[in-house]
């Protein structure tokens, strides 16, 4: 039950884009087409889960290992969290890109163009930090990262659908393009605020 | 001080380890790339305009190297690039540099609207819903779809309601010709020698043409009769010049009663090159 709760919390209640305003660049940039946004969502899901799976042990066994910290406070490296997570996630994405290019070219063709875009995307980084601050164990943090990226995909697909309708709308010139998208996004966010009491 | 040292040490160690791993894996997972892909890609202009029909220069280079695409598809690069690519691929190219010419001169006061158009303000939508907003169903509607697809900033809407080609910038990629629902753009030789009829009205009834546009072709065929080289022929109700024979003598331009024949040199009011037969180009005053 706890895992279901965490999943819903991450996907809907704390939606990375609509409730926490993260990854807006990718959100606006990749939502002009429904199929593209689904591809982007898939790539984000993949990288987020991978990043969580790597950064969680990294933090708990290297940066803030309680056994080492008991020996001397000098081993408390948790302040290096941001630096290390960014570097490790970026390198990881690169590595995955090499691997896919060689071994799974079809998946690389479908997802490869999105991978450089989401190298340490702020939503992904936020999920890895949340795993630490919310004191999740490894299973919980994996579920949390899946939930967060499903929420990301959901809002991306929602905006892509809205953009399809907005293409033929007769908007005043000053609000055309990105400004109108942010208005649509904030209206979506208002709708998502209704979920805020869903999980106790 | 301790914290600074720890941070430095840790960052260096981490960067070293990551760099090492990435380097090893790059070699381990290296995909052999056809060297011709790189060479072809370098020879292309890199505008990623899509005129070749591929998503970008990279995709086109891949297709060329794989033998799936002809070498002369890059319109912005023109003849020079086609020859370079052909050399790299070991085949011969036949490409000619071209520019876009608008085959309509129905400016606002010459070609009247058939009513007030309220709807989506794009040429394509207007064409689908009304069959053209002007009395002349072949004429330019002037919503500027073509200016939006031009990757080279060479097309701009003028105050007269027609798009104007900037021939310093036009690369002849043909995106405007593909976009125009009225098929009003014709690709003409970049040397701009020869004459062209800047009208697309296919209506053979003279009275109807004159009613719908003051500068339309009325099919009098004076140009066909007057041409000393016999290089003008009527095709689907419009005179068409054969550029392999045309000498740019300008007789058809003089004979045209509705002033819809022009020399390519003088289109857009910018004579770039004046050519007399046999004598080569000398730049003229603008």
Q: For residue B8, give the chain A residue with the closest CA.
A: A80
pLDDT tens digits, residue range B41-57? 888 888 777 778 787 78
pLDDT tens digits, residue range B29-44? 877 777 888 888 888 8
Whether A80 and B18 lie within 8 Å, measured CB to CB: no
Q: Using an 8 Å CB-CB cutoff, list chain B residues near A76.
A: none
Q: Using an 8 Å CB-CB cutoff, list chain B residues near A99.
A: 25, 29
Report yes or no: B30 at the A interface, CB cutoff 8 Å: yes
Q: Quick one: pLDDT band at residue B279, thresholds 50, 70, 90?
A: very low
Between A143 and B194, where is the model more confident? A143
Instruction: Kindly give, in sequence order, each residue whose CB lies less than 8 Å from that of residue A66, ignoring residues fewer than 6 positions away.
Output: none
Whether B21 and A103 lie within 8 Å, measured CB to CB: no
Residue from the list B2, B10, B29 with its beta carbon closest to the beta carbon of A99: B29
Q: Using an 8 Å CB-CB cutoff, list chain A residues near B26.
A: 98
Whether B25 and A98 lie within 8 Å, measured CB to CB: yes
Of A36-40, A44-48, A113-117, highest mean pLDDT: A44-48
Report yes or no: B21 at the A interface, CB cutoff 8 Å: yes
Is ipTM strictly over 0.85? no
Token digits of residue B63: 């297709």
Percent of chain B with pLDDT over 90: 6
Report yes or no: B3 at the A interface, CB cutoff 8 Å: yes
Residue from the list B7, B21, B30 with its beta carbon closest to the beta carbon of A80: B7
- Lowest-confidence range among A67-71, A181-185, A191-195, B279-283? B279-283
Q: What is the largest CA-CA distance in chain A?
A: 68
Q: Which of A98, A112, A116, A173 to mutate to test the interface with B (most CBs of B within 10 A)?
A: A98
Q: What is the CATH number of domain B98-283?
A: 3.30.70.20
Q: Using an 8 Å CB-CB cutoff, list chain B residues near A103.
A: 29
pLDDT tens digits, residue range B93-112? 666 778 888 888 888 888 88
Whether A98 and B7 lie within 8 Å, measured CB to CB: no
CA A173 to chain B, closest CA, distance in angstroms equals: 13
pLDDT tens digits, residue range A134-164? 999 999 999 999 999 999 999 999 999 999 8
Domain extents in chain B? 35-89, 98-283
Of A145, A191, A195, A192, the C-alpha closest to A10 is: A145
pTM of the entire predicted model: 0.56
* CATH fold of the domain at B35-89: 3-methyladenine DNA Glycosylase II; Chain A, domain 3 (1.10.15)
Q: Using an 8 Å CB-CB cutoff, list chain A residues near B11.
A: 80, 83
Whether A79 and B3 lie within 8 Å, measured CB to CB: yes
CB B189 within 8 A of CB B275: no
Token digits of residue A44: 């984000």
Whether A91 and B26 lie within 8 Å, measured CB to CB: no
Q: If you average pLDDT over residues A71-92, what whole number do you get?
A: 86
Report yes or no: B168 at the A interface, CB cutoff 8 Å: no
Please say if the pLDDT value at position B273 is more than 50: no
Residue from the list B14, B31, B120 with its beta carbon closest to the beta carbon of A102: B31
Residue from the list B18, B30, B31 with its beta carbon closest to the beta carbon of A87: B18
Whether A98 and B29 lie within 8 Å, measured CB to CB: yes
Residue from the list A79, A80, A95 with its beta carbon closest to the beta carbon of B25: A95
| B261, containing H or E segment | strand B261-263
Please say if the pLDDT value at position A112 is more than 70: no
Mean pLDDT of chain B: 82
Residue B194's pLDDT is 81
CA B50 to chain A, closest CA, distance in angstroms equals: 17
Residue A113's pLDDT is 65
């Amino acid at each position: 039950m706890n895992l279901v709760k965490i999943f819903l919390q991450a996907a809907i209640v704390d939606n990375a884009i609509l409730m926490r305003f993260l990854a807006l660049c990718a959100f606006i940039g990749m939502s002009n087409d429904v199929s593209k946004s689904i591809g982007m969502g898939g790539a984000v899901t993949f990288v987020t889960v991978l990043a969580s799976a790597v950064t969680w042990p990294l933090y708990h066994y290297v940066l803030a290992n309680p056994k080492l910290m008991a020996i001397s406070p000098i081993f408390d490296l948790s302040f290096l969290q941001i630096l290390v997570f960014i570097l490790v996630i970026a390198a990881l994405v690169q590595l995955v890109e090499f691997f896919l290019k060689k071994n799974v070219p079809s998946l690389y063709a479908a997802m490869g163009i999105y991978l450089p875009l989401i190298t340490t995307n702020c939503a992904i980084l936020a999920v890895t930090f949340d795993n630490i601050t919310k004191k999740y164990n490894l299973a919980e943090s994996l579920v949390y990262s899946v939930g967060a990226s499903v929420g990301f995909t959901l809002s991306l697909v929602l905006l892509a659908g809205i953009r399809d309708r907005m293409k033929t709308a007769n908007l005043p010139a000053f609000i055309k393009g990105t400004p109108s998208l942010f208005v649509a996004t904030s209206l979506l966010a208002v709708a998502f605020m209704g979920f805020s009491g869903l999980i106790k | 001080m301790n914290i600074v040292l720890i941070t430095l040490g840790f960052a260096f160690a981490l960067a070293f380890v990551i760099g090492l791993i990435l380097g090893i894996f790059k070699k381990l997972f290296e995909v052999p790339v056809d060297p011709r892909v790189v060479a072809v890609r370098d020879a292309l202009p890199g505008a990623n305009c899509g005129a070749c029909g591929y998503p970008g220069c990279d995709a086109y280079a891949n297709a060329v190297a794989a033998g799936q695409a002809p070498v002369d598809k890059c319109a912005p690069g023109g003849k020079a690039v086609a020859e370079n690519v052909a050399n790299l691929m070991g085949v011969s190219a036949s490409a000619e540099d071209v520019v876009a010419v608008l085959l309509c001169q129905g400016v606002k006061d010459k070609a009247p609207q058939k009513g007030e158009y309220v709807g989506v303000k794009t040429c394509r939508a207007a064409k689908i819903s009304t069959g053209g907003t002007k009395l002349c169903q072949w004429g330019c509607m002037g919503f500027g779809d073509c200016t939006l697809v031009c990757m080279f900033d060479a097309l701009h809407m003028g105050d007269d309601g027609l798009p104007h080609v900037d021939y310093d910038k036009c690369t002849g990629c043909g995106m405007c010709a593909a976009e125009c629902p009225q098929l009003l753009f014709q690709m003409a030789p970049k040397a701009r020698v020869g004459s062209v009829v800047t009208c697309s009205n296919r209506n053979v009834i003279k009275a109807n043409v004159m009613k719908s546009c003051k500068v339309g072709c009325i099919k009098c065929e004076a140009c066909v009769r007057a041409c000393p080289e016999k290089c003008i022929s009527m095709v689907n109700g419009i005179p068409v010049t054969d550029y392999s024979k045309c000498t740019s003598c300008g007789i058809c331009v003089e004979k045209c009663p509705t002033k819809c024949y022009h020399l390519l040199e003088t289109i857009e009011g910018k004579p770039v090159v004046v050519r007399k037969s046999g004598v080569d180009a000398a730049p003229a005053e603008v």
